[in-house]
Amino acid sequence: MRINKLLFSILIALLAFANTTAGQNCRDYHKTARCYVDDIGYKLSSLSRSNYLLVGETVTYEVVLYGNKEIIISCCTEEKYYPLRFKLRSSVTGEVIYDNKYDKYINRISLSLDRTELISIELTIVSTPENVSVLKGTKACVGLAIYMEKEKVRQ
């Protein structure tokens, strides 16, 4: 009986640790409220991703974005790790299509492409003079949520 209580106590402690930020599983961070888009006309795409990222480093995702469809890209991270920079780049030509640096690091854009394209999306937690000493060497969850316009029902 004493061993069962001990095992139960250890299990509770492990579960409590798993729910803290330090033990957080980052896999579905793009599904959290920070990245969520509340628009019934759009559906979360399986192209969406989450990852741990060190301050000042960049992670790149290559995705195929479909032409003639409205797309919403939402990027998010933990509160103290903003600003979060994201760039869209043509994987074929390397040309930068969009950089949120020029829009005061907004976290969400809506776009529509003329044709289906292979796009690289680069995410970076920006080092600023205010956060570099506090956050240097730390990592945070970042999420990339890609929402695509739902198929219209033909009548």
Going from N- to C-terminal start, the domains of the chain cover: 26-149
Question: What pLDDT was estimated at residue 155?
Answer: 54
Rounded CA separation 72/40 (Å): 12
d(CA 49, CA 111): 19
Question: DSSP class of residue 107?
Answer: S
Per-residue pLDDT at 6 exceeds 70: no
pLDDT at position 150 is: 85
Q: Scan for tokens 């469809």, then name that residue.
A: 69
Q: How far is 105 from 119, CA to CA, in rounded Å?
A: 19
pLDDT band at 22 (very low <50, low <70, confident <90, very high): very low
> Of 3.30.470.20, 3.40.50.300, 2.60.120.380, 3.60.20.10, which CATH number belongs to 26-149?
2.60.120.380
**Length in residues, the chain:** 155
Mean pLDDT of the region 96-100: 96
Q: What angle (nearest 5°) sits at the alpha carbon of residue 118, between those of residues 91 and 42?
A: 135
pLDDT at 8 over 60: no
The mean of the pLDDT values for the chain is 83
pTM for the structure as a whole: 0.77
C-alpha to C-alpha distance for 6 and 94, rounded to whole angstroms: 57
% of the chain beyond a pLDDT of 90: 52
